[in-house]
Every structure is written in C-alpha cells, then in structure tokens.
C-alpha cells in the first residue's frame, strides 16, 4: 500500500531549528523526514482487531508542529518512529476479527487513535489508573513496550496512532484498529463531516467537562482553526445560550464561526480590546508591558491556540476566579507573565483527546455523543473542510495546511481512495 511516513533524527531537528519557521523545505523537503512510500499492508494481530480502508484522514496543526520540530520535545518519548502519519481517521471496514461484534465489513467508522493499556495487550488488572477510569488519552504506560506483538515485533511505545511505529496512521491506504477504537458513523453524516470526528471530539470533551457560565456571562474563544470552530459548535450543541465572542483572524473563518454559533466576531488587537472594555473592564497601562484590566472580563475563556500571545491575553482578560481552558498545544514559552494566574485566582485547565463522558444521564464515549449531536444539530460542519488531496499530493497538502493565510485553509484532508493516490 501507499503511505506517508515520518522519521525523527537529530540532524533534521537541528536543520528545522536553524530555519526557525514553517517553510515548505522544512515540511517536506529532501531533509524533512516525510516520504511517500510503498509498504506492506497491515495484518490483524488478534481476534479483537479490524482492518480498515482509509476514506479520509485529516492534517492537524499538531502534525505541522511536529513535522517542523516546532512543538515541544517533551512528548518525544511517547512516540515511536518511523511511523505512518495521520491520527484523524475515517475508514471503511474491510476485515473483521472473530471477536469484534459491533461492526461489519463495509461499515464506516471513526477511529479513536489514542493507544491505551488494552490495546497494548495488558489484562484489566494491569491497566493504569487513567485507562481504568476511561481517561485513556492520558495512558500512563505510553512510554513502555506492550506485551502485544505485531508481525512478530514487540508493541512499540506511543500515545497515539499516527505517531506509532506499530500502528500505521491514516495517511496510508489501510490501517488496523482495535475494536475499542471503533465508532460506527451514522448514515446521516456525510464523509467530510464524519472525518472531523476527532477534532470535534477534542473540543466537545473540553466543553462537556467545563461547566457553562450563566447565560448572562460571555464566553471568549481564541483561535480560528478547527478546534476553535468546533468549540463554538460544542458550546451551542450542549445548550449554552449566552454570548460567544470569537477572536478570529480572517473573513472566511469568521463566516464559519458565525454559522456555528458565534455571537460576536473580533479581530486580535483593537477589536478584542474593545470587546474586553465592553464587558465593563477598566484599562490600565503599567510602566512597561501590556495593558491590564480590572472589572468586567470573561468568566470562561477557551484558548484554542496555546501561544504566548493568546495565553497572555487570556490571563489578562479573565474575571477573578474565572476559568481558562487550554486546548491549543501550548509548549515552551519565553517571558509569559503569570501574574494574573494568582492575582485573579484563576482556574486553568488543559484537555487532550476524548474518553468516557457523562451526557444525558448516560456514560458514553465522546465520539458517540459527537455523532448524536451532529445529526441533531445539522450544523454545516463540512464547511471546515477547505481542501482535499490524494496521497500522491501529500506534500502539496502539507504546504496548504502549513500556510493558512495564503491558501485560506481550515481543515485539509487526504483521500487515499482518490485516483492518483
């Protein structure tokens, strides 16, 4: 099968750091570590596994950060390479193990890519605390080899399929997945919407685990990528009726935010400041540094960027005892002023992945809830998909995903079934 692979090396890391920014050469040049290859199709390692034909697979902002080595190296021990990339996976079942009762050949499924203790081959008594609690995105054994063997080799370390040597990701024509990773897609959802299950799940997981403020209190969402837009949708889908202020950079993203439920659109800078003052905040200018505020503010802020600029803004814009939810992949930062973390007694919480949730009196996986709400709400989520490329054009797809301003891209997908893949 054809697949896009990535390998990590110290020389590539040093090259990317020397460039210091996202460029086409760093993303997919001769020294990037990204290659389109032919490799054997994966085989089932046991009766609880299935093989899928990949229909669509997303390119995530995290992928761009990792491929350009601009993400923090802190998570490096929890991946294994070389790996077939792609953790946002929509597939069609082509082979079913004997102990997989919930899916059939031909069925479409969304894949939860997080690798947990059961997938690694450990029995229930040996599961870590996170996996036993249904919070498998924070599996505590991600740095260990598992007892399962795939094609005769030990199961490699890794947090997530797509950065895992033993489990090829969705940037290939086929993947294997454990039965616990599979969530059938309702017939009412088209392929493009279903392919967004993973990023929607991330936003929905955070929203489901963060109490809504009073309807008279505004929520601020920072960011204009798929996670930020899915956060706006998730707030509305779970019943928040108050004002949602969305800080958006570009016009086409603003239109999407409005369609998904944003009340007010502001641009970073002066418009965002006006929105802050509009909450009743008074502005003050210290001797040096950024403007600060007292009074007013936002009791709940979702930072879906995770940059120094957005975290600094969120800390200054939050009300006393406000909540700051970090959904962007915040990493190493220089000169981030944390004064208002303690001076305003803020509650700051990060989220990753998805898992077992309480919703409408039932315990269910985030993906199941997302699919149910997508059908109920009939929101135009498919508009987030701005570009689709065959595997053979993976390098071009990375360039488009890596330069959102130039190409007006939001979510870029790869279609391994397309002619030319």
**Whole-number pLDDT of residue 5:** 96
Alpha-carbon distance 419 to 173, whole Å?
A: 12
Alpha-carbon distance 355 to 201, whole Å?
A: 9
The SS3 of residue 218 is: coil
Alpha-carbon distance 183 to 166, whole Å?
A: 21
Confidence class of residue 13 from pLDDT cuts 50, 70 and 90?
A: low
Reported as a single tens digit per residue, the pLDDT across 229-247 is 999 999 999 999 999 999 9
**Whole-number pLDDT of residue 330:** 78
Reported as a single tens digit per residue, the pLDDT across 112-150 is 999 999 999 999 999 999 999 999 999 999 999 999 999
**Whole-number pLDDT of residue 331:** 80
Alpha-carbon distance 136 to 151, whole Å?
A: 25
Confidence class of residue 24 from pLDDT cuts 50, 70 and 90?
A: low
Task: Give the sign of the dihedral formed by CA 100, CA 104, CA 105, CA 107.
Answer: negative
Across 287-308, average pLDDT: 96
Share of the chain above pLDDT 70, in %: 95
The SS3 of residue 389 is: strand
Could you give all domains of the chain from N- to C-terminal order, each with its CATH number?
Answer: 2-195+382-415 (3.90.180.10), 199-350 (3.40.50.720)
Q: Whose structure tokens read 């054809």? A: 2
**Whole-number pLDDT of residue 31:** 65
**Whole-number pLDDT of residue 28:** 61
Confidence class of residue 68 from pLDDT cuts 50, 70 and 90?
A: confident
**Whole-number pLDDT of residue 29:** 65
């Amino acid at each position: 099968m054809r697949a896009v692979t990535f390998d990590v090396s110290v020389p590539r890391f040093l090259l990317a750091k020397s460039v210091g920014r996202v460029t086409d050469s760093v993303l997919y040049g001769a020294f990037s570590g990204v290659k389109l290859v032919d490799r054997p199709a994966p085989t089932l390692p046991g009766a609880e596994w299935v093989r899928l034909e990949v229909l669509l697979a997303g390119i995530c902002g995290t992928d761009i950060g990792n491929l350009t080595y601009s993400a923090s190296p802190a998570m490096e021990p929890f991946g294994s390479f070389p790996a077939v990339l792609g953790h946002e996976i929509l597939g069609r079942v082509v082979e079913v193990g004997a102990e997989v009762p919930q899916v059939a050949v031909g069925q479409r499924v969304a894949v939860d890519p997080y690798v947990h203790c059961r997938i690694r081959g450990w029995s229930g008594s040996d599961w870590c605390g996170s996996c036993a609690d249904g919070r498998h995105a924070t599996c505590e054994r991600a740095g260990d080899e598992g007892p399962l063997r795939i094609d005769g080799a030990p199961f490699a370390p890794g947090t997530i399929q797509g950065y895992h040597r033993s489990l090829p990701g969705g940037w290939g024509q086929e993947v294997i997945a454990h039965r616990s990773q599979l969530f059938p897609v309702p017939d009412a959802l088209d392929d493009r919407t279903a392919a967004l299950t993973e990023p929607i799940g991330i936003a929905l997981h955070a929203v489901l685990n963060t109490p809504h403020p009073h309807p008279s209190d505004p929520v601020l969402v920072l960011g204009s990528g798929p996670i930020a837009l899915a956060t706006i949708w998730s707030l509305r889908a779970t019943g928040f009726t108050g004002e949602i202020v969305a800080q958006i950079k570009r016009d086409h993203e603003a239109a999407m935010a409005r369609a998904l439920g944003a009340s007010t659109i502001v641009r970073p800078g002066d418009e965002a400041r006006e929105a802050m003052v509009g909450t009743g905040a008074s502005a003050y200018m210290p001797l040096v540094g950024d403007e600060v505020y007292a009074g007013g503010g936002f009791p709940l802020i979702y930072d879906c960027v995770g940059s120094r600029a957005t975290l600094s803004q969120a800390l200054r814009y939050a009300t006393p005892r406000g909540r700051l939810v970090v959904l962007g992949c915040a990493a190493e930062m220089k000169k981030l002023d944390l004064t208002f973390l303690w001076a305003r007694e803020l509650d700051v919480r990060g989220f990753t992945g998805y898992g077992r949730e309480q919703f409408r009196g039932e315990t269910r996986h985030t993906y199941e809830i997302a699919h149910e709400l997508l059908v109920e709400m009939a929101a135009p989520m498919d508009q987030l998909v701005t570009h689709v490329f065959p595997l053979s054009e993976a390098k071009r797809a990375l360039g488009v995903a890596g330069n959102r301003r130039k190409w007006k891209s939001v979510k870029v997908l790869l279609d391994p079934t397309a002619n030319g893949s």
